[in-house]
A = this chain, B = another copy of it.
Amino acid sequence: MLPVAVDAMGGDHAPSAIVAGAQLASDAGIPVILVGRAADIGETDLEIIEASEAIAMDADPTKSVRSMKDSSLVRCAEAVRDGRASGMVSAGNTGAALTAATLRMRRIPGVARPAIATPLPNFGDDGTPNILIDAGANIDCAPELLALFARMGAIYARTRFGIEAPTVGLLANGEEASKGSPLTKAAFPLLEEAAWQQETGARFIGNVEGNDLLGKAADVIVTDGFTGNVALKSLEGAAKAIVAALLGAFDSSDDARKGAQLLLPALAPVYERMNPDTVGGAALVGVRGICMISHGSSSANAIFHAIKTAHELAESGLVQELSASLSEG
């Protein structure tokens, strides 16, 4: 298997956390190749693709990708395009990563717009993550795009998590078919169509609500990138606020500290299930290659899991599955 190309220059803790994460992956037997300035990366046994520029976290995505042709992000996407890497991972500027992957790898035929698929912890039945698509790539969507996201989400759920007959829900403000925004109401009949469900094995279950994101209502939750971004960050904000409040309580008295100590073994698996580092990160689906988009704040452990996911997605043949399904459609 080809190595995963890792953007060493992208992220709040780059390059140190990125290089450390890549080393963890290499130690676990996953081939990796770092992309960036060798001088900044420093001492490492990992292979490096030299790239002289780094796109800043707050740079304009389109402008920077077009002008910084020797940036680590652009070189990552080119490594995938040119068959030097099986996929790419970046914790850098999200918009620039989307743009670089879309422009350099290009879209799969039939894909009007790639979308971000983000796994969400599932506190329902079996614990297989749910997939939110689009989690932020496409802010202004036509109904046909939501139908495309549903199809790509279903194929992603099968390829990534082995869900043969994924249930697909449309994120709205109520379960009844009569509820929804003009966009979701226009998308609803497209999602109801039998053809795409038969072709993908998916089953459209109608509208789902914000409180279904972490539950067993649907394996794939379809939305536009604006709503998806707000919903995802709402979940993250709630989890972070609650965990911080709990940690404060755990340390608020001697009794509390003693209690927390006793509880720790029971709490560890709950924390693990919620931990975005280990769930594996967001994937850009619809481009001709694997592109994992990690949080800017990613730790070495988060980068390791993103590399692992990229490697597994490449092995699973996600791009081939999407290409086969979408070229039929």
Q: Which residues of A contact B (CB under 8 A)?
A: 58, 121, 123, 136, 139-140, 171-174, 176, 180-182, 209-215, 223, 225-227, 229-242, 244-246, 248-250, 252-253, 255-256, 258-267, 269-270, 273-274
Given contacts A139-B181, A232-B210, whether A266 and B253 have CB atoms under 8 Å apart is yes
Identify 22 residue pairs between A and B in the complex whose beta-carbon atoms are under 8 Å apart, listed by A's number. A123-B245, A140-B182, A172-B226, A172-B230, A173-B229, A209-B229, A209-B233, A210-B233, A213-B234, A215-B237, A230-B234, A234-B234, A235-B238, A242-B242, A245-B270, A246-B246, A249-B269, A249-B270, A255-B262, A256-B262, A259-B260, A262-B262
B230 touches A214 (CB 8 A): no
A316 smallest CB distance to B (angstroms): 28
- In the bound assembly, the distance between CA atoms of A242 and B255 in angstroms comes to 23
Closest to A171 in B: B230
Closest to A124 in B: B241
> Chain A interface mostly helix, strand, loop or mixed?
helix
Chain B residues positioned under 8 Å from A211 (CB to CB):
233-234, 236-237, 240
B266 touches A250 (CB 8 A): yes
Q: A173-B225, A211-B234 are in contact. List 11 more A-B contacts (CB 8 A).
A: A123-B241, A139-B181, A140-B181, A173-B230, A213-B234, A214-B238, A223-B230, A230-B230, A242-B242, A245-B270, A250-B263
Contact among B121, B245, B262 for A258, CB-based, below 8 A: B262
A210 touches B239 (CB 8 A): no
Chain B residues positioned under 8 Å from A176 (CB to CB):
58
A12 smallest CB distance to B (angstroms): 15
Chain B residues positioned under 8 Å from A58 (CB to CB):
176
- In the bound assembly, the distance between CA atoms of A58 and B177 in angstroms comes to 12
A213 smallest CB distance to B (angstroms): 6
Chain B residues positioned under 8 Å from A235 (CB to CB):
210, 234-235, 237-238
A229 smallest CB distance to B (angstroms): 4
A118 smallest CB distance to B (angstroms): 13
Chain B residues positioned under 8 Å from A264 (CB to CB):
259
Chain B residues positioned under 8 Å from A241 (CB to CB):
121, 123, 214-215
A47 smallest CB distance to B (angstroms): 35
Chain B residues positioned under 8 Å from A171 (CB to CB):
230
B245 touches A255 (CB 8 A): no
A126 smallest CB distance to B (angstroms): 15
Chain B residues positioned under 8 Å from A213 (CB to CB):
234, 237-238
